Structure 1
Amino acid sequence: MAIKLNKEVEQRLLGSIQRYCAENMDEEVGELKARLLLDYCLREIGPSVYNQAILDAQAAMQDKIAEIETICYESEFSYWTKK
């Protein structure tokens, strides 16, 4: 599954890549090089990050589902024990 970014996010990321390269690598990077690097990251690194995020979300949901038993449990056949 390809990761699609909206235009605003893409532009902000391109600017961030350009700034990072300028400040940390002492290299001015134009928009084309920044776009190539962003495309590479989205294709090569993005799926791993996405898959880990899905695993994290699943684990969080499973924790919440496990809590349902203790939060939403109601004793059965308790009519006669309450009298």
Structure 2
Amino acid sequence: MADIEFSAEEKSVIVDKIQRYFDEELGQEIGGFDAEFLLDFFSHEVGAYYYNQGLNDAKGLIEERLTSLTDAIYEIEKPTTFAR
């Protein structure tokens, strides 16, 4: 899987969130370059886990919907009898 790529605007928002987290939760300042480097590191090293979990969540939702659709089809099925 290729690395996750964000638009410049998305990356800017995420970098800001990383900087804010470091400041508010850790009491440390982190520069924009370091925050972007950290984002790239986590995207490369951890991103696939989040991506795969998203796929599994989507698969589960599709399976639920397909089961519901199958049940709905059975509900409208007409009874048949075979005469001999």
Q: Quickly name the TM-score band, shorter chain normalised.
A: 0.7 to 0.9
Distance 1:76 1:43 in 2: 56
Listed as ranges, the matches of 1:46-57 within 5 Å are 46-57=47-58
User: Which runs of 4 or more aligned residues in structure 1 lie more than 3 Å from their structure 2 counterparts after TM superposition?
Assistant: none
Distance 2:48 2:12 in 1: 20
TM-score (norm 1): 0.84
Listed as ranges, the matches of 1:19-34 within 5 Å are 19-34=20-35
State the percentage of identical aligned residues: 29
Name the counterpart of 1:64.
Answer: 65
TM-score (norm 2): 0.83
Q: May I ask how many residue pairs the two structures share in their alignment?
A: 78
Deviations along 1:26-81, one digit per CA (max 9) or x if unpaired, are 11110111011100110111110110110110011011111112212322647xxx
> Structure 2: which 5+ runs fail to align?
none
1:6 deviates by 1.2
Instruction: Indicate the RMSD between aligned Cα atoms, in angstroms.
Output: 1.4
> Structure 1: which 5+ runs fail to align?
79-83
